[in-house]
Structure 1
Amino acid sequence: MAKLYFRYGAMNSGKSTALLQAAYNYEERGQRVLLAKPLIDTKGADQIESRLGVSRKVDFLIGQDDVARDLFAEHQARVRYTHDELAGLSRPPAEVACLLIDEAQFLTADQVDDLLRIAVLDGIPVLAYGIRTDFRTHAFPGSRRLLDIAHTVEELKTICRCGRKALFNARVVGGRFVFEGDQVAIDGVEARYESLCAECYLHESGGRLG
């Protein structure tokens, strides 16, 4: 049975790099994959961007009101159609070997449920990558649901500026840490993020959590 995997980590833990490496590994063996990410993640537009400088265009974007399984089925059919068009009827239809999702924390709980359906009912492994908590240490809805139902949960580790394991994602605006604001604020002029261990986070927040 195919499985739903959730691979999470703090910012700069190499999640996008790991996703792109997984896609490469599948394709190196002649297998077709589909890449997707939530539309709300405007950083990189329709690209998955690694901090190592590697990028790749996604096959589709998932809007907040979209049914993830329907979108997957649509693009899976496109893969088969393109294959059949090129190969005629001399070979079996092309199958998608894996669905890879970047920034999975921005999915809705219903969309995460669809990822499980894709894995279990459609027989396609789903690898979802994302961060667990926001800058206030609250779980994102997508991450919370992935932690609830994923077959396998794996932490991708990175370090804090002090050398300890980073646990939290702190928001920096105008060069200062902030602990108020909307849950979603994509990297850019107004906000950036730094991965901190629990001790450094509590030091910067004055002991505050949430």
Structure 2
Amino acid sequence: MAKLYFRYGAMNSGKSTALLQAAYNYEERGQHVLLAKPVIDTKDADSISSRLGMSRPVDFLIRPDDDVRALFAAQRARVRRDSAALIPDASVDVACLLIDEAQFLTREQVDDLLRIVVLDGVPVLAYGIRTDFQTQAFPGSRRLLELAHTLEELKTICRCGRKALFNARLVGGRFVFDGDQVAIDELSADRVTYESMCAECYLHESGGRLG
């Protein structure tokens, strides 16, 4: 039975690398996959890139008001059509849908992912972070935690060596704890960056503040 997977972790936990590796594994076995990400993730435009230097274009971008199941259906039809044109008697289908930066999906779009899994019979692997720089859950992540068949944590460490839980935001190299929920790292004129931190280090930098 197809399942909805949510693979989450703090920033720098290797989520994009794991996604690209999963895509490679499917294709190495002769299976077809589709890659997508929310358009709000402007870093690397229409590609998924890992911090190790690997990169791959997505098959489609997801806008905030898009019906993800409809987008998937259109891409699935394209895959079938293209394969039939190359090999008329072939029966090729999409083996898996992989979503990067899934925290930026809306609640309704995560519901679409579950429908793709249950009604269309295609596994979905969604990768993302649970919480923002104020330790509040992103809407997409919250819904994935509610609906996913399988939850898998990808781990990374804080500068102190403990397990990192939170994503602290820096602007111009200084920690900030107020602002919009979404600010894409390294693309702002103010040099927005993030640091993965354990609870102890986060509380130290925030003066004990959570959210």
TM-score bracket for this pair, using the shorter chain length: over 0.9
Residue in 2 aligned with 1:46?
Answer: 46
**SS at 1:43 equivalent:** coil
Residue in 2 aligned with 1:134?
Answer: 132
Q: Residue 155 of structure 1: which of 153, 156, 169 is its match?
A: 153
Quick check: 1:91 aligned with 2:84?
Answer: no
Residue in 1 aligned with 2:208?
Answer: 207
Moved over 6 A (4+): none
Opposite residue 59 of structure 1, the aligned amino acid is D
For residues 172-198 of structure 1, what are the alpha-carbon distances to aligned partners after superposition, in whole Å with 9 as ceiling and x for unaligned? Answer: 001100000000000124311000000
* Structure-to-structure mapping, 1:12-27, within 5 angstroms: 12-27=12-27
How far the C-alpha of 1:130 sits from its partner, in A, is 0.1
Opposite residue 109 of structure 1, the aligned amino acid is R
How far the C-alpha of 1:91 sits from its partner, in A, is 2.2
Equivalent-residue separation in structure 2 for 1:22 and 1:44 (angstroms): 20
Equivalent-residue separation in structure 2 for 1:91 and 1:207 (angstroms): 60
Equivalent-residue separation in structure 2 for 1:77 and 1:192 (angstroms): 39
Q: Residue 109 of structure 2: which of 108, 111, 118 is its match?
A: 111
Equivalent-residue separation in structure 2 for 1:138 and 1:102 (angstroms): 19
For residues 61-80 of structure 1, what are the alpha-carbon distances to aligned partners after superposition, in whole Å with 9 as ceiling and x for unaligned? Answer: 00000000000000000000
Opposite residue 6 of structure 1, the aligned amino acid is F
For residues 57-109 of structure 1, what are the alpha-carbon distances to aligned partners after superposition, in whole Å with 9 as ceiling and x for unaligned? Answer: 00000000000000000000000010011112x222x1000000000000000
Opposite residue 101 of structure 2, the aligned amino acid is E
TM-score, scaled relative to structure 1: 0.98
Identity of aligned residues (%): 79
> Does the aligned pair in 1 maintain the 2:169–2:194 contact within 8 Å?
yes
Equivalent-residue separation in structure 1 for 2:163 and 2:2 (angstroms): 32
Equivalent-residue separation in structure 2 for 1:174 and 1:3 (angstroms): 41
Opposite residue 122 of structure 1, the aligned amino acid is D
CA RMSD of aligned residues (A): 0.6
Which blocks of at least 5 consecutive residues in structure 2 are unaligned?
A: none
> Does the aligned pair in 1 maintain the 2:9–2:155 contact within 8 Å?
yes
**SS at 1:193 equivalent:** strand
Quick check: 1:67 aligned with 2:67?
Answer: yes
Equivalent-residue separation in structure 2 for 1:148 and 1:91 (angstroms): 38
Quick check: 1:120 aligned with 2:118?
Answer: yes
Opposite residue 163 of structure 2, the aligned amino acid is K
Equivalent-residue separation in structure 2 for 1:86 and 1:157 (angstroms): 42
> Does the aligned pair in 1 maintain the 2:103–2:130 contact within 8 Å?
yes
Aligned residue pairs total 208
Opposite residue 186 of structure 1, the aligned amino acid is I
**SS at 2:5 equivalent:** strand
Which blocks of at least 5 consecutive residues in structure 1 are unaligned?
A: none
Q: Residue 175 of structure 1: which of 160, 173, 180 is its match?
A: 173
TM-score, scaled relative to structure 2: 0.98
